[in-house]
Amino acid sequence: MDYFQIMNSACLDVQLDFNEDMYNKFMQYKDMIKEWNEKINLTAITEDEQMVKKHFIDSIKIFKFSPLREAKSIIDIGTGAGFPGIPIKLVKPDVDMTLLDSLNKRIIFLNEVINKLELKEIKTIHGRAEDFSRKIEYRQSIDVVVSRAVANLAVLSELCIPYVKIGGYFVAMKGPSVEEEIKEGKSAVSILGGKIEDIIEIEIEDSNLNHNLVVIRKVKETPKAYPRKAGTATKKPLK
Ligand code: SAM
């Protein structure tokens, strides 16, 4: 399979340029995931074609939310092995990217990726999302917060919305149960200062993925009471 070709057409579909240099970095990243996955648990997907489609192209398709192309700062909450944050950085190198995860082994891996791929204006944070959004330098200071496969929308909103600037966005990458999650999470979104603006369907050729982007705009300040102590959002989701 011609991975350059399918990644190039995914980029074209979201009006982004793709080139040989980006492609080589994606392939280096893929090799590092496979190598490190033998020692630490990074992903259940290890086969090349699946990795390209279900991790790389799925992450690139977040640009279906077109204002992302204008973002100057992005934070990826619960980034794991770097999804969607690393692919976003590779196709939009001018963005200031922060990758946050509570699992240190994954952060060590990501630091190695950043070094090997010689990425600039990108940093990692090891910690709980709920702890960093209370710090002045992160609170309501990021243009767009992104997150994939971390928690349901009610919980995730408390982890993510406090980071977003007023007028900025939180884009949650969600699976097929999006309607249900919105029903249960929309009150949490509103309490935290967000407003659900759009749901964008994502299609990936020759794949059975059914993904949706939930686009939340930050319309007012997050009340000082949020996020609650680490772990509380999961135990007692906002209603
Ligand atoms: N976003 C990646 C992806 O789509 O492949 C990883 C998804 S993985 C299922 C969930 C990740 O979220 C894990 O790496 C976990 O350590 C992290 N995580 C869960 N709760 C978190 C929290 N409260 N703060 C920071 N990271 C968290």
> Is residue 129 within 6 Å of ligand 1 at its C-beta?
yes
List the 164-174 sheet strands across, edge first: 122-126, 96-101, 73-77, 142-148, 164-174, 211-218, 194-202
- What torsion do the CA atoms of 135, 141, 145, 150 make, to the nearest 10 degrees? 10
> Is residue 122 within 6 Å of ligand 1 at its C-beta?
no
Phi, psi of 166 (to 5 degrees): -65, 130
Average per-residue pLDDT for the chain: 96
pLDDT band at 1 (very low <50, low <70, confident <90, very high): confident
* Contact of 152 with 237, CB cutoff 8 Å: yes
Ligand 1 mean position, distance from CA 79 (Å): 6
> Is residue 83 within 6 Å of ligand 1 at its C-beta?
yes
pLDDT band at 148 (very low <50, low <70, confident <90, very high): very high
pLDDT, one tens digit per residue, over 160-198 is: 999 999 999 999 999 989 999 999 999 999 999 999 999
What the block records as the tokens of 141 is 């200071």
What is the distance between the terminal CA atoms of the chain, rounded to a whole angstrom?
47
Rounded to whole angstroms, the Cα distance separating 211 from 188 reads 22
pLDDT (0 to 100) of residue 147? 98
Q: Which of 58, 101, 104, 211 to mutate to test the pocket of ligand 1 (most atoms within 8 A of CB)?
A: 101
Residue 121 annotated as part of some ligand binding site: no
Nearest to 65 by CA among 223, 201, 209: 201
Residue nearest to atom 18 of ligand 1 (CA): 78
Residue 69 annotated as part of some ligand binding site: no
What are the respective helix, strand and coil percentages of the chain, to the nearest 5?
Answer: 45, 20, 35
pLDDT, one tens digit per residue, over 68-81 is: 999 999 999 999 99
What the block records as the tokens of 191 is 């309490």
Rounded to whole angstroms, the Cα distance separating 164 from 169 reads 6
Rounded to whole angstroms, the Cα distance separating 11 from 16 reads 5
Ligand 1 mean position, distance from CA 172 (Å): 13
pLDDT band at 208 (very low <50, low <70, confident <90, very high): confident
Ligand 1 mean position, distance from CA 191 (Å): 23
Residue 233 annotated as part of some ligand binding site: no
Indicate the length of the chain as a whole number. 239
Three-class SS state of 70: helix
| Cα 222 versus chain centre, distance | 20
CATH code for the domain defined by 3-235: 3.40.50.150
| Cα 24 versus chain centre, distance | 22
Rg of the chain, C-alpha, whole Å: 17
Residue 83 annotated as part of some ligand binding site: yes
pLDDT (0 to 100) of residue 203? 87
User: Which of ligand 1's atoms lies nearest the C-alpha of 43?
Assistant: 5
pLDDT, one tens digit per residue, over 86-128 is: 999 999 999 999 999 999 999 999 999 999 999 999 999 999 9
- What torsion do the CA atoms of 157, 54, 11, 20 make, to the nearest 10 degrees? 130
User: Which of ligand 1's atoms lies nearest the C-alpha of 230?
Assistant: 23
Domains in the chain: boundaries: 3-235
